[in-house]
Amino acid sequence: MSSALENSIVYLKGVGPKRAELFEKLGIRTVKDLIYHLPRRYTDLSSPLPIAATVLEQPNVVKVTVVSKERPAMIRRGMTVYRLLVTDGADDMTVTIFNSQYAFDMLKQGEEYILFGKVTGNFTRREMSSPEIRRAGDADRIEPVYPLTAGLTQNILRNCVKNAISKMMPQDVEFLPADILDSAAMMPEAEALRLVHFPQDPNDITHARRRLAFDELLTLRLGMLSLRERNRSYTGYSMKNTDMTPFLAALPFRLTGAQNRAISECAADMQKSTPMNRLLLGDVGSGKTAVAAACCYFAAKNGAQSVLMAPTEILASQHFESLRGFLGPSGLNVSLLVGSMTKKQKEAVYMKMKTGEADVIVGTHAVFQEGAEYCRLGLVITDEQHRFGVEQRSALAKKGENPHRLVMSATPIPRTLALMIYGELDISVLDELPNGRKKVDTYAVTGKLRSRACAFVRKELDSGGQAYIVCPAVDEGENMFNVTDYAAELEKGEFKGYRIGVLHGKLPAAKKEDVMRRFKDGALDILVCTTVVEVGVDVPNASIMMVENADRFGLSQLHQLRGRVGRGERASSCILITDNVSEESRKRLKILSSTSNGFEISEADLEIRGPGDFFGSAQHGLPPLKIADLAADGELIKLSQDVADRIYDTGRITLPGCAALRKRVEELFSAAAD
């Protein structure tokens, strides 16, 4: 399908090679790119205000007639000021224009104009400076405002877009069959594009946006479904149901209902002839490791090996300890494989893996490196997977012999978001904390109470506890310096005589591991750190956390952070220090004191801060959503998912009528891979 829209914009009227280069900077190469370069916002010229009603210090729209023009005044070299008097019939106002003879000349005495600009002055005298000027007759009522780059102006953009739109034929852009549009009450694509650029009234924007957001969500979902299909098109290890009693009997606790449910879901998956692809979504401390252990047990009893991969060595050894505790009593062999082991140690583990002596291998990336050969790898578990992208996730799936896959994420995210981000996975949720898990008492205080907070921390240290002191990573570049400085300050001041370790993202991995290890072993009293501790390291003796500048963090992130304490016998607390005394900040932090349910917190966070903050924006590896708003478009997400699932499940996606749709899906994912 080739249309005029696929042409380079060089061929568009008003665009030559020079301008084309500027457009290129905006990512615009073809006419179609230009059509999909959407307004960032709009200037509404449709309802001008009387001069007397304009809002001071704000941009306002007025409709006025030029009464008189003053002689231009050169106030200094290179700076000419032009003044005019305008009236709306009732009041008059001075308009000041700096340096633009063109704008000044454009305004003719006795003629009517729409002006848009900031109004200053007082209640009796008003002034507008450097307004945008439109002749009253031919002003669009609502004007698009585009993202720009130096050398391009709004006017150039508007004219070029207008031109491009006039060349667009409905069949060039429509990619959904008519009956689908009808059933979802969506307008044609061409109309949506025309209206999103040149709306006649605000409703047009809403409706056009709805169609374009729907497009985005629908193609994203379809892309996820085809990823899922790709992962599923292999046969995995079809396992037999297994008596879990010996495993359960060896556990030092009773599983929660949520854990039991998740284990049953995994067991059912592993009995199918296609590989399991499941996300285990659970709050901090919800007991994901025990679920992972159960799956390993299930696999081992079916004669298959399991591997659990963690992002850091310290997490890997922690999982190793836990799994050995859970599975050792049942006679399973659990082995650790990490990069820092000697060649000889590694080779010993390789041997156990190869011969099948090892039932479960726990490690870092080392578990997939050269030399690591498996005997019958039936289950791959990855922890904290949200740090990897979609592509990496599916690359992992191709390893081994099409094993079952379990992904553990410690970020409790709202279900709608989980469905978008992990759309190619099935989801099990651990929404229940084990009994006896201590609530972390959380207090938000202002900086004035810092020294009292420090005294509180010292008291905890003196009675044998350990503390985290967290400060935000403001600027990655300077941050290293900041944290180190800050720690030095604490060492000289409030925490003189205590053993303090420093941990931040810029440290080499080995150094990080070393500091974390010493803290875990009790050789340090205080760990001063940035959010690197967020990842689930277990130090049961750490019972207090103090967070500086707490309002700089997302609520979910703070919740993750405080999950580092309250893991042992000691009553635990978290002190959030903030100098932001605004009502909103207080309200936000109060949510943390009032609930310890990570899902509730993440819903609130999604509302307040939007989805970007759950992961650093690039980290989820998804194509960026330009239009749809995951926080606000709940209805639309549901609708697009239903429609996508129907198109997919009925096989309609493979029919000729959906060729254009298939192309869209491919484009979306290939753009994300760039």
Number of H helices, E strands in the chain: 23, 22
CA 13 to chain centre: 39
Query: Taking CB positions, which residue lies at the least distance from Mg ion?
Result: 536
Is residue 122 helix, strand or coil?
Answer: coil
Q: In the complex with ligand ADP, which residue's Cβ is closer, 296 or 410?
A: 410
CB of 581: closest distance to ligand ADP in angstroms? 33
Q: Please name which of 218, 223, 346, 329 lies closest in space to residue 637, comparing C-alpha atoms.
A: 218
Query: Which residues have CB under 8 Å from 496's CB, separation 6+?
Result: none
CB of 358: closest distance to ligand ADP in angstroms? 22
Given ligand ADP, Mg ion, none, residue 259, with its beta carbon under 5 to 8 Å by kind, binds ligand ADP
CB of 256: closest distance to ligand ADP in angstroms? 5
Given ligand ADP, Mg ion, none, residue 112, with its beta carbon under 5 to 8 Å by kind, binds none
CB of 301: closest distance to ligand ADP in angstroms? 21
Instruction: Detail the DSSP E strand segments found in 364-518.
Output: 377-383, 404-409, 426-430, 440-445, 466-470, 500-503
Q: In the complex with ligand ADP, which residue's Cβ is closer, 378 or 536?
A: 536
Check the CA dihedral 126-132-137-142 and report its sign. Answer: negative
Q: Residue 496: exposed, middle, or buried by beta-carbon count in 10 A (0-12, 13-18, 19+)?
A: exposed
Q: In the complex with ligand ADP, which residue's Cβ is closer, 563 or 611?
A: 563
Q: In the complex with ligand ADP, which residue's Cβ is closer, 148 or 250?
A: 250
Q: Please name which of 343, 345, 344, 143 lies closest in space to residue 335, comparing C-alpha atoms.
A: 345
Given Mg ion, ligand ADP, none, residue 305, with its beta carbon under 5 to 8 Å by kind, binds none
Residue tagged 């879990």 (tokens): 244
Query: Which residues have CB under 8 Å from 492's CB, separation 6+?
Result: none
Amino acid present at 127: E
Given Mg ion, ligand ADP, none, residue 256, with its beta carbon under 5 to 8 Å by kind, binds ligand ADP
When asked if residue 287 is in the footprint of Mg ion (CB under 5 A), the reply is no
Give the CB-side neighbour count of residue 423, counting CA atoms within 13 A.
Answer: 28
Q: In the complex with ligand ADP, which residue's Cβ is closer, 140 or 321?
A: 321
Given ligand ADP, Mg ion, none, residue 277, with its beta carbon under 5 to 8 Å by kind, binds none
CA dist., res. 486 & res. 274, Å (int): 53
Q: Judging by DSSP bridges, how do beta strands 526-529 and 500-503 pair with one another? A: parallel
CB burial of 464-480 (b: ≥16 within 10 Å; e: otherwise) equals: ebbbbbbbbbeeeeebb
CB of 522: closest distance to ligand ADP in angstroms? 17
Given ligand ADP, Mg ion, none, residue 78, with its beta carbon under 5 to 8 Å by kind, binds none
CB of 383: closest distance to Mg ion in angstroms? 6
Residue tagged 């056009």 (tokens): 208
Q: What is the DSSP letter of 8?
A: B
When asked if residue 275 is in the footprint of Mg ion (CB under 5 A), the reply is no
When asked if residue 282 is in the footprint of Mg ion (CB under 5 A), the reply is no
Reading the block at residue 106, the tokens are 């454009």
Interface with Mg ion in residues 583-642 (CB under 5 A): none
Q: In the complex with ligand ADP, which residue's Cβ is closer, 242 or 259?
A: 259
CB of 542: closest distance to Mg ion in angstroms? 15
Q: In the complex with ligand ADP, which residue's Cβ is closer, 254 or 663?
A: 254
Q: In the complex with Mg ion, which residue's Cβ is closer, 223 or 287?
A: 287
Q: In the complex with ligand ADP, which residue's Cβ is closer, 434 or 505?
A: 434
**Sheet of 404-409: strands edge to edge?**
334-337, 360-363, 305-309, 377-383, 404-409, 277-282, 426-430
Q: In the complex with ligand ADP, which residue's Cβ is closer, 176 or 558?
A: 558
Q: In the complex with ligand ADP, which residue's Cβ is closer, 131 or 536?
A: 536
When asked if residue 536 is in the footprint of Mg ion (CB under 5 A), the reply is yes
Given Mg ion, ligand ADP, none, residue 290, with its beta carbon under 5 to 8 Å by kind, binds ligand ADP
CB of 282: closest distance to ligand ADP in angstroms? 5
Q: Mask 496-535, x = binds Mg ion (CB under 5 A)?
A: ----------------------------------------
CB of 414: closest distance to ligand ADP in angstroms? 18
Reading the block at residue 554, the tokens are 């997302």
Given ligand ADP, Mg ion, none, residue 98, with its beta carbon under 5 to 8 Å by kind, binds none
Is residue 282 helix, strand or coil?
Answer: strand
Check the CA dihedral 106-108-112-114 and report its sign. Answer: positive
CA dist., res. 525 & res. 469, Å (int): 11
Given Mg ion, ligand ADP, none, residue 117, with its beta carbon under 5 to 8 Å by kind, binds none
CB of 384: closest distance to ligand ADP in angstroms? 9
Given ligand ADP, Mg ion, none, residue 164, with its beta carbon under 5 to 8 Å by kind, binds none
Q: In the complex with ligand ADP, which residue's Cβ is closer, 48 or 566?
A: 566
Reading the block at residue 265, the tokens are 């879901």
CB of 470: closest distance to Mg ion in angstroms? 19
Given Mg ion, ligand ADP, none, residue 253, with its beta carbon under 5 to 8 Å by kind, binds ligand ADP
Q: Residue 651: exposed, middle, or buried by beta-carbon count in 10 A (0-12, 13-18, 19+)?
A: exposed
Q: Tally Cβ neighbours within 10 Å of residue 504.
A: 22
Question: Which span sits near Mg ion by CB under 5 A: 254-262, 352-360, 432-440, 536-544?
Answer: 536-544
State the number of binding residues for Mg ion (CB under 5 A): 1
What 3 state SS string does 327-373 have? Answer: HHHHCCCEEEECCCCCHHHHHHHHHHHHHCCCCEEEECHHHHCCCCC
Query: Taking CB positions, which residue lies at the least distance from ligand ADP?
Result: 287
User: Would you tell me which residues interact with ligand ADP (CB under 6 A)?
Assistant: 253-256, 259, 282, 284-290, 410, 434, 436, 536, 538
Reading the block at residue 142, the tokens are 């609502």
CB of 285: closest distance to ligand ADP in angstroms? 5
CB of 444: closest distance to ligand ADP in angstroms? 24
CB of 539: closest distance to Mg ion in angstroms? 13
Is residue 547 helix, strand or coil?
Answer: strand
Q: In the complex with ligand ADP, which residue's Cβ is closer, 30 or 560?
A: 560
CB of 183: closest distance to ligand ADP in angstroms? 41
Q: In the complex with ligand ADP, which residue's Cβ is closer, 48 or 536?
A: 536
When asked if residue 144 is in the footprint of Mg ion (CB under 5 A), the reply is no
Distance set, CA 146 to CA 35, 43, 103, 186, 196 (Å): 12, 11, 21, 25, 12
Q: In the complex with ligand ADP, which residue's Cβ is closer, 325 or 621?
A: 325
Given Mg ion, ligand ADP, none, residue 560, with its beta carbon under 5 to 8 Å by kind, binds none
Q: Please name which of 271, 268, 310 lies closest in space to residue 289, comparing C-alpha atoms.
A: 310
- Cβ atoms of residues 73 and 80 within 8 Å: yes
Given Mg ion, ligand ADP, none, residue 543, with its beta carbon under 5 to 8 Å by kind, binds none
Reading the block at residue 82, the tokens are 């032009």
Q: Please name which of 301, 579, 282, 498 lies closest in space to residue 408, comparing C-alpha atoms.
A: 282
Binding site for Mg ion (CB under 5 A): 536
